[in-house]
Amino acid sequence: MGTFSTLANISSLMTWTNAACVLATLTAVFGMINKEFILIVIRTLPRDLRGIVRFLKALRHIKRAKRENNTVLKIFEENSKLFPNRVCFYYEDRQMTFKEASDLSNQIGNYFQSQGYKKGDTVALFMENQPEFVCIAGGLNKVGVITALMNTNLRLGQLKHCLDAVKAIAVIYGAELAEAIKELQDMGGLDERKLYCSGAENDKDKVCKGAVNMDLAIKGITTATPPELALTNFSDKAFYLFTSGSTGLPKAAVIKNSRFLTYTYLTHYAWNLTCDDVIYTPLPLYHSAGVGVGTGQTLVFGCSQVIRRKFSATNFWLDCIRYKVTVGQYIGEICRYLLRQPSSPNDTTHKVRLMIGNGLRPEIWGEFVQRFQIQNVGEIYGSTEGNCGLLNFDNKIGAVGFVPRLFQSLYPTRLIRVDEETGEPIRDPKTGLVLECKPGEAGEVVGKIDESLPTREFSGYAGTDSKHKIITDVFRKGDKAFRSGDILIMDELGYFYFKDRSVDNYRWKCENVSSVEVENTISNICGLQDVAVYGVKIPGCDGQAGMAAIVDPKRILNFEELIAGMSKFMPFYARPLFIRIVDQLEMTATHKIRKFNLQKQGFDINTVKDPLYFLLNGSYVPLDAGLFQKIINEELKL
């Protein structure tokens, strides 16, 4: 407590004069006597001290959890005893107390334990947002079973791939997704996996062939805490989250209890949340933002969580008013959708004081805050599997976080120079180490790997190689760092701003898309070998829409066949909005497709001389001047 108390006192009592004296001494010691640098450090001192204090609070709890060998569900079990009658989940017209949520999760854990499931087994959860989602995942975790949280947009081959990647021995699915499971059964994609259906107690048609009606099966099962909970550990795997990395099919990121608790504590103390907060989660629970930020605060700190099955722009503020929400979750697209709604008294009669999320674009940030009277926007930067995170807790418009300039070399998240075309790190020819970016210079975010620290470890993916995400000999010989694939810029004050994703990864409709995955799928559908897929910016839209440059010199591409194949094998958000027909694709010396120039040209018909097509009303139509102008003028609803 000594260091923490001292820093807290410094934060509140240090005067500008004292700060200047201390900083002058520090900079002299470090050999950085530079007037401009000293002024920057003095200017950012209050921000930096607040950040250090909040980080130390979180770190104290992380260390305590490690020392006591705590897990997410151990803490939740204690919370359910401390305030059993507090509302844990609000969902539509239902309320579920902490005791009810704990009892249900205990029943599920005890049932699966009685069926022979044991610690280390993996069970897939394929279900839309609802309280049962959390209770099922929690119940499995109480007996040491790892839950693979499946993207509900996946179908057929992609769904089977994800089940195979984590070696799931069973699938629990929501009745609302029965048709997707039946399709997978018909193609033989479930193999010998056991099936369980949740939510079909009164609708037997939703119980697929061979599936167990789980609602009926757990009736009469004891609600006592499974004894196996005591055998779970801080370092155990809790669940898998799927992410579209930069290559191939979706990958299962390993989320340990240590990682989940780390980000839960960091979020909580960065924005001074309390157990009385009510958190609104309209984001999918199979994403790290939904389950990590929202559900984490509920399980670990006892906050109430409002779960919405699917995001609705028209109901967002109505829900916040109805449930007395104090903390809302967002991604950038959500904020833009909300701003497009007609003005209403509901815009300001809510009690939301804080919005936490990522991707709020600078051009709409001020308008969003002003119109909806939001006191604080908590922008977060990070990736599901990565170890390089940033937080913006002081409302700096456009920033995804900051690193104190004085301690920049000590912080694990750094920016390195990369080749603009190939994406390869640029190294010092003498030392062989990477070159770090200077303020104002764009570079890739990397995170130094230290497996002994929960905040710096990289657990990789299940069922696939993780080497492509690791770079060695980074800042010193023999060290390692995680490659994010994201391009950011840092200003002179230490604030970071998102610039772009790598050419092999883009974001559309709130989802990450792997270019390689889409390329392989299109190539297989069309029988055309060379395809380049990349993201292009569209006015008025967050993220980037997909464009596929397809080599077809004879112009024999069958668009109807392409659309039918994409509908079958690709989620809607991954289907390219634009098609560009080319005679050939330029290659690098290492036989990789050059996408940089293609991406720069985008879909501008005044620049691109190749035939362009646009996905409109389920068909690819020629992109002519009239259609191009409608897209540019934001006249089409995309």
pLDDT category of residue 483 using cuts at 50, 70 and 90: very high
C-alpha 469/C-alpha 457 separation (Å) is 13
Pairing of strands 146-149, 194-198: unpaired
C-alpha 549/C-alpha 320 separation (Å) is 44
Do 224 and 133 share a domain, yes or no? Answer: yes
Minimum mean pLDDT range among 54-58, 320-324, 456-460 = 456-460
pLDDT of residue 597: 87
Minimum mean pLDDT range among 37-41, 241-245, 306-310, 535-539 = 241-245
Q: Which residues of 102-120 are buried (b: 16+ CB within 10 A; e: fewer)?
A: bbbbbbbbbbbbeeebeee
Residue 223 has pLDDT above 60, yes or no: yes
Do 127 and 234 share a domain, yes or no? Answer: yes
Q: Over the Cα atoms of the chain, what is R_g? A: 25
C-alpha 472/C-alpha 482 separation (Å) is 9
Please check whether residue 319 is in contact with residue 90, taking contact to mean a CB–CB distance below 8 angstroms.
no
Residue 338 has pLDDT above 90, yes or no: yes
Do 482 and 517 share a domain, yes or no? Answer: no
Minimum mean pLDDT range among 5-9, 74-78, 254-258 = 5-9
**What are the strands, taking DSSP E only, across 407-515?**
413-416, 443-448, 461-462, 470-472, 480-490, 495-501, 505-508, 511-514
Please check whether residue 607 is in contact with residue 598, taking contact to mean a CB–CB distance below 8 angstroms.
no
pLDDT of residue 517: 84
- For 128, the token pair is 């839309």
Do 265 and 195 share a domain, yes or no? Answer: yes
Do 60 and 77 share a domain, yes or no? Answer: no
**Mean of the pLDDT values across residues 41-47?**
94
Do 22 and 105 share a domain, yes or no? Answer: no
Within-domain flag for 377: no
**Mean of the pLDDT values across residues 556-585?**
92
SS (H, E, C) 506-558: EEECCEEEEHHHHHHHHHHHHCCCCEEEEEECCCCCCCCEEEEEEECCCCCCC
Within-domain flag for 221: yes
DSSP conformation class of 417: -
User: Tens digit of pLDDT for each residue in 138-170?
Assistant: 999 999 999 999 999 999 888 999 999 999 999
pLDDT of residue 591: 58
Contacts of 493 (CB under 8 A, 6+ apart): 40, 43, 44, 402, 405
What burial class does residue 533 get, using C-beta atoms within 10 Å of its C-beta: 0-12 exposed, 13-18 middle, 19+ buried?
Answer: buried
pLDDT of residue 228: 97
Residue 247 has pLDDT above 80, yes or no: no
Kindly write down the DSSP assignment for every residue of 281-328, as one continuous string: E-S-TTSHIIIIIIIHHHHHH--EEEE-SS--TTTHHHHHHHTT-SEE
Within-domain flag for 589: yes
Within-domain flag for 224: yes
Do 41 and 108 share a domain, yes or no? Answer: no
pLDDT of residue 590: 52
pLDDT of residue 543: 87
C-alpha 90/C-alpha 399 separation (Å) is 32
Please check whether residue 52 is in contact with residue 44, taking contact to mean a CB–CB distance below 8 angstroms.
no
Do 272 and 125 share a domain, yes or no? Answer: yes
Q: Which amino acid is at 138?
A: G
Residue 18 has pLDDT above 50, yes or no: no
Within-domain flag for 344: no
User: Tens digit of pLDDT for each residue in 257-304?
Assistant: 999 999 999 999 999 999 999 999 999 999 999 999 999 999 999 999
Please check whether residue 546 is in contact with residue 508, taking contact to mean a CB–CB distance below 8 angstroms.
yes
Within-domain flag for 418: yes
The sign of the dihedral angle between the CA atoms of 436, 442, 444, 447 is positive
Q: Which of 259, 290, 310 is the last residue of a domain?
A: 310
> What is the domain-level CATH number for residue 476?
2.30.38.10
Q: Number of structural domains, the chain? A: 4
Do 441 and 549 share a domain, yes or no? Answer: no
Do 492 and 615 share a domain, yes or no? Answer: no
Do 12 and 102 share a domain, yes or no? Answer: no
User: Tens digit of pLDDT for each residue in 520-539?
Assistant: 889 989 887 789 999 999 99
Residue 21 has pLDDT above 70, yes or no: no
pLDDT of residue 1: 39
Q: Which domain holds residue 37?
A: 2-67
- For 350, the token pair is 């809510």
Q: What would you measure as the largest C-alpha separation in the chain, in angstroms?
A: 75
Within-domain flag for 150: yes
pLDDT category of residue 588 using cuts at 50, 70 and 90: low
pLDDT of residue 4: 34
Q: Which of 40, 67, 94 is the last residue of a domain?
A: 67
Within-domain flag for 343: no
Do 522 and 444 share a domain, yes or no? Answer: no
pLDDT category of residue 501 using cuts at 50, 70 and 90: confident
> What is the domain-level CATH number for residue 513?
3.30.300.30
pLDDT of residue 15: 39
Residue 229 has pLDDT above 70, yes or no: yes
DSSP conformation class of 276: T
More confident residue, 204 or 380: 380
Residue 455 has pLDDT above 90, yes or no: no
Please check whether residue 357 is in contact with residue 378, taking contact to mean a CB–CB distance below 8 angstroms.
yes
Query: For the whole model, what pTM was predicted?
Result: 0.87
pLDDT category of residue 248 using cuts at 50, 70 and 90: low
Q: Which of 310, 341, 370 is the last residue of a domain?
A: 310
Contacts of 236 (CB under 8 A, 6+ apart): 71, 119, 144, 256, 257
pLDDT of residue 464: 78
Pairing of strands 495-501, 531-536: unpaired
pLDDT of residue 10: 33
